Structure 1
Amino acid sequence: MSTPARLKGTLFVSGTRLLYVGPLVATRRHAHHAAQIVIAPGGLDIEDSVSGRIHVGGAVIPPHVPHGHGACAHAALLFLDGDERASRGLARDAEPRCEAWGRDALDVMVPRDPTPEMARALMASILSAVDLGPPPGPRHPAARRMCALLDGSGTDDVDLASLSREAGLSPRQMRHAFTRDVGLPMRAYLRWKRLRRAVAAVEAGASLSAAAASAGFADSAHLSRVFREQFGITPTQGLSSITWRTLD
Structure 2
Amino acid sequence: MFASGTRMLYVGPLVATKRHAHHAAQVVIAPPGLDLEDGADGRIHARAAVIPPRMRHGHGACPHAALLFLDGDDLASRALSRNAEPRCETWGRDTLEVKVPRNPTPEQARALIESILSAVDLHQPPRPRHPAARRMCAYLDGSNPGDLASLSHEAGLSPRQMRHAFARDIGLPMRAYLRWQRLRRAIAAVEEGASLSAAAISAGFADSAHLSRVFREQFGMTPTQGLSSVTWRTLD
Of 103, 107, 111, 1:121 maps to 111
Of 172, 182, 205, 2:160 maps to 172
Please state how far the C-alpha of 1:166 moved relative to its aligned partner. 5.8
1:7 corresponding residue in structure 2? none
Using the size of structure 2 for normalisation, the TM-score is 0.97
2:43 pairs with 1:53:
yes
Q: Return the letter of the residue paired with 1:129.
A: A
SS at match of 2:58: strand
2:61 pairs with 1:76:
no
What is the distance in 1 between the residues matched to 2:5 and 2:141? 14
Q: After superposition, what is the alpha-carbon deviation per residue over 1:47-99, rounded to whole angstroms, capped at 9, x for unaligned? A: 00111110000000000000000001000000000001211121221100000
What is the distance in 2 between the residues matched to 1:213 and 1:166? 27
What is the distance in 2 between the residues matched to 1:24 and 1:86? 23
Please state how far the C-alpha of 1:167 moved relative to its aligned partner. 4.8
1:198 corresponding residue in structure 2? 186
What is the distance in 2 between the residues matched to 1:211 and 1:237? 16
2:90 pairs with 1:100:
yes
Using the size of structure 1 for normalisation, the TM-score is 0.92
2:220 corresponding residue in structure 1? 232
Is there any run of 5+ residues in structure 1 with no aligned partner, and where? 1-10
What is the distance in 2 between the residues matched to 1:242 and 1:192? 20
Further displaced range: 105-114 or 137-146: 137-146
What is the distance in 1 between the residues matched to 2:147 and 2:227? 34
Deviating above 6 A after TM superposition, structure 1's stretches of 4 or more consecutive aligned residues are none
2:26 pairs with 1:36:
yes
SS at match of 2:65: strand
Further displaced range: 132-141 or 69-78: 132-141
Of 74, 77, 100, 1:110 maps to 100
1:4 corresponding residue in structure 2? none
Q: Return the letter of the residue paired with 1:192.
A: W
1:209 corresponding residue in structure 2? 197
**CA 1:74/1:177 → structure 2, altered by over 3 Å: closer, same or farther?**
same
2:233 corresponding residue in structure 1? 245
8 Å contact from structure 2 (residues 3, 233) kept in 1: yes
Quick one: percent identity of the two aligned structures?
81
Q: Number of matched residues?
A: 236
Is there any run of 5+ residues in structure 2 with no aligned partner, and where? none
Please state how far the C-alpha of 1:165 moved relative to its aligned partner. 4.4
8 Å contact from structure 2 (residues 139, 151) kept in 1: no
2:175 pairs with 1:187:
yes
What is the distance in 1 between the residues matched to 2:186 and 2:24? 16
Q: Return the letter of the residue paired with 2:79.
A: G
Q: Return the letter of the residue paired with 2:152.
A: S
1:5 corresponding residue in structure 2? none
2:54 corresponding residue in structure 1? 64
1:221 corresponding residue in structure 2? 209
